[in-house]
């Protein structure tokens, strides 16, 4: 099956690099992108706003029947975009974080809609997440009595709290850790990113630095988990993997909701 990909979220940096990676893999990246911007065109892509996309999507799907959408838009657009994909029967990979995640999952499950949804598309970080989920299920309360503190730094344009941080916090809480309010500290100010998080200045515009700290009550024992990413390519490669995985599942008639754990297993 020849895969066509519509990367939504142009002219955002993440959408741009995903389009580049998909093109390198010889996927057919079509020259249309859903956007919240007022621009009509960007680097050869026709940008479709909320009203215009309804007028254009029929012709796009006619010309590209095996279309898979990739979503790297804005947290405020997550649920509306998902409803659009379901309405027009467009399989999708949701890389955008935020929105009402419970409503999002309910929507695709009830519609039996083929998609991949994950708070993080980086395979190695997803594997770490899976290990912590396994630990939480098999060793509940192992961090009982420990205080949890999380600090995450992303480029200042990221509007919401890291979905990955939220997922890992959930696992640590299942292990019995106590959340110290605020459990997740967002760092978006660039001077603090350099001084506090040690983000290289050249990567202030695109990075993800996370530190998870667990301390015993008397502070005599300290555990620290950290994953630092400079740039965006790790997420783009994982996203392209998710597109190819979803295409194979659709071809096999296995139309349902998947996450990045499924992609890793596949």
How would you write 220-238 as a 3-class SS string?
A: CCEEEEEEEEECCHHHHHH
Catalytic residue among 74, 154, 207, 210: 154
Helix, strand, coil % (nearest 5) of the chain? 40, 25, 35
Structure tokens at 158: 């990221």
Omega cis (within 30) before 182 = yes
**Is 207 one of the annotated active-site residues of the chain?**
no
Say if residues 252 and 111 touch (Cβ distance below 8 Å).
Answer: no
Distances (CA, A) of 191 to 4, 197, 260: 41, 10, 33
Distances (CA, A) of 43 to 31, 39, 61, 87: 9, 11, 22, 28
Catalytic residue among 74, 149, 158, 227: 158
- Catalytic center residues: 154, 158
């Amino acid at each position: 099956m020849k895969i066509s990909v519509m990367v939504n979220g142009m002219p955002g940096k993440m959408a741009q690099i995903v389009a580049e990676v998909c093109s390198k893999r010889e996927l057919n990246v079509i020259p249309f992108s859903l956007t919240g911007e007022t621009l009509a065109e960007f680097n050869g892509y026709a940008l479709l706003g909320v009203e215009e996309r309804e007028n254009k999507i029929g012709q796009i799907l006619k010309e590209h029947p095996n279309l898979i959408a990739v979503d790297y838009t804005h947290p405020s657009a997550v649920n509306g975009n998902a409803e659009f994909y379901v309405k027009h029967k467009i399989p999708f990979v949701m890389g955008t974080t935020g929105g009402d995640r419970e409503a999002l999952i309910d929507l695709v499950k009830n519609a039996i809609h083929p998609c991949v949804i994950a708070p993080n598309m980086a395979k190695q970080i997803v594997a770490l997440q899976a290990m912590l989920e396994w630990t939480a299920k098999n060793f509940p309360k192992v961090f009982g009595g420990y205080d949890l503190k999380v600090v995450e730094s992303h480029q200042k344009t990221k509007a919401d709290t890291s979905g990955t941080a939220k997922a890992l916090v959930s696992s640590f809480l299942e292990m019995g850790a106590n959340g110290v309010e605020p459990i997740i500290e967002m760092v978006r100010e660039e001077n603090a990113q350099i001084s506090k998080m040690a983000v290289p200045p050249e990567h202030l515009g695109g990075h993800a630095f996370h530190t998870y700290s667990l301390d015993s009550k008397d502070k005599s024992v300290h555990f620290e988990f950290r994953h630092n990413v400079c740039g965006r390519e790790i997420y783009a490669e994982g996203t392209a993997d998710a597109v190819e995985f979803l295409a194979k599942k659709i071809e096999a008639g296995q139309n349902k909701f998947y996450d990045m754990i499924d992609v890793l297993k596949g």
